[in-house]
Amino acid sequence: MSSTNGTATRNVRVEVEEVGDGRVGIAVLTIDDPAKLNAMGRSFWVEMREALATLEADGRTRAVIITGAGEKAFSAGGDIASFAELTDVAAKREFQQDCMRTFAAVEETPLPVIAAVNGYAMGGGCELALACDVVVAADNATFGMPESAVGLVPGFGVLRAPLVIGRHWTKLMMFSGERVDAETALRIGLAQKVVPAAALMDTAREIAARIAGMAPLALATGKNLVNRGVDRGEFDHSTAALTTLHATADAAEGIAAFVGKRAPKFEGR
C-alpha cells in the first residue's frame, strides 16, 4: 500500500493510498489540530463535506478512514471557545445546520467510512464516530458526550446514540458526562473492534483494503438499505432545540466558564 497524493486544509488532511493492483484506493481523512486535541474548528464542517464529495467523485476511492492527528485524541469535539463568536440566533442556527449537514454527509456518502478512534472522542468527536459505518478503537480510546457541562446537548448524538447504544446509555452519557472506555464501548456497540493503540491504523487500513476489494455498488446499496430507517426530519427538530439552547443564559455561562477554566454556575434560564 502506498500513498498516491495528499492535500491539507486548515482542519482536515486528506491522503489517498493505493491498494491491491493500484486501480483503487482508500482515503485517510485526518482531523489535524493536535495542539487542540483535534477540536473541530469552524472550517472543519465544510472541509469534511468537501473532502467526501471529492472522494466520491474521483472514481477510485472505495473506503474512507477518519482519524485524529497525534496520539491523544480522535477529536475533543467542537471548538467551544469559538461558540462565543456566535452572537445572534441566526448565527447559532447556521452553525447547528452546518454540523448536521456534515454528520449527514458522513452517514449518506456511498463510501464505507471507518472511524479509527485514537484517544479522546468527546462531544462532536463521539458524534462523528456515531455517524461512521464502523468504529475501530484503540485500547486507550475514551468516548463521551459532555455538552451538558456547558449548557448544551449533543444535537446529533441524541438522535443517533439511542440507535447504537440504547436510550439508557445515551441518557447516562448525556446527563452525567459519563466517559466510556474502549472495552465498554465494544460491549455496548459503540465500537466494533478494540486493538492496541500501535495497531490502530494498520487494523483500520486492513479493513478498508478488504472493503475496497468488494463491489462498490453493492456496498453503497447495502449501506443505503441499512440506513433507510434514519429519519432526516429529526435534524430540523434538533437544530431548533440546539439553537434555543445556544441562546440561553446557561449556555453563555457554560461557554464562559469553559474559556475561563472555572466551574459554571447554572441558573436554569
Among 17, 47, 107, 127, the active-site one is 127
- Residue 2's pLDDT is 41
- The CATH number for 171's domain is 3.90.226.10
pLDDT tens figures, 196-227: 999 999 999 999 999 999 999 999 999 999 98
CA 116 to chain centre: 10
E strand or H helix that includes residue 7: strand 2-8
- CA distances in angstroms from 18 to 38, 72, 79, 145, 253, listed in the order given: 26, 27, 33, 35, 49
pLDDT tens figures, 116-142: 999 999 999 999 999 999 999 999 999
Average pLDDT of the chain, as a whole number: 89
Q: Domain span at residue 141? A: 2-199+218-229
- Contact status, residue 248 vs residue 151, Cβ threshold 8 Å: yes
Mean local confidence (pLDDT), 98-114: 96
- Contact status, residue 95 vs residue 41, Cβ threshold 8 Å: no
234 is catalytic: no
227: left (phi over 0), alpha (psi -120 to 50) or beta: alpha
User: 164 lies in a domain?
Assistant: yes
User: 268 lies in a domain?
Assistant: no
- Contact status, residue 74 vs residue 110, Cβ threshold 8 Å: no
Tally of domains in the chain:
1
127 is catalytic: yes
CA dihedral (49, 67, 214, 230) positive or negative: negative
- Between 83 and 19, whose confidence is greater? 19
User: 251 lies in a domain?
Assistant: no
CA nearest to 12, candidates 35, 37, 46, 36:
46
Strands 61-68 and 12-19: unpaired
User: 241 lies in a domain?
Assistant: no
Q: With pLDDT > 70 as the criterion, what percentage of the chain qualifies? A: 91
Among 147, 178, 234, 267, the active-site one is 147
User: 249 lies in a domain?
Assistant: no
pLDDT tens figures, 60-72: 999 999 999 999 9
Amino acid identity of 237? Answer: H
Tell me: pLDDT of 237 over 70: no
- Residue 3's pLDDT is 47
- Residue 233's pLDDT is 67
- Between 114 and 89, whose confidence is greater? 114
Mean local confidence (pLDDT), 143-152: 91
- Residue 1's pLDDT is 41
- Residue 247's pLDDT is 73
* Cβ burial, residue 33 (10 Å; 0-12/13-18/19+): buried
